[in-house]
Amino acid sequence: MARRVCNVAGCPTITDGPRCDEHARPNANARGYGSRHQGTRASWQARIDAGETVTCWRPDCDTVLTGRAWHLGHDDLDRSITRGPECTPCNLSAAGRNSHMS
């Protein structure tokens, strides 16, 4: 494999992969999307596929989830806690809010 510059803007590090060690993205399990998360999502998906009415877990949202266009939401403060099925807008807005907390 050819060596190249890290693909993160402004990083001059030469690497064998797309990103250098400093900018490498953690694996799915480290990000909270490992086998337990995938199994829980599959269980919810089976319920949705069976016709059960499943709504977004967020208290201020009553969106009915259909098809596969939904997320399995984590707790906003502790990603080791899975809260439940979540509509895409709620999931992405929570992720955006959390990325700006310090």
Residue 39 sits in the same domain as residue 27: no
Residue 17 has pLDDT above 70, yes or no: yes
The count of residues in the chain is 102
Residue 49 sits in the same domain as residue 92: yes
Residue 46 sits in the same domain as residue 71: yes
What pLDDT, in 10s, does the model give residues 57-72?
A: 999 999 999 999 999 9
| H runs (alpha helix) in the chain | 35-49, 88-99
- Per-chain mean pLDDT for the chain: 87
Tally of structural domains, the chain: 2
Domain that holds residue 56: 32-102
pLDDT confidence bin for 80, thresholds 50/70/90 = confident
- Residues 88 and 11: their CA atoms lie apart, in Å, by 32
Residue 77 sits in the same domain as residue 65: yes
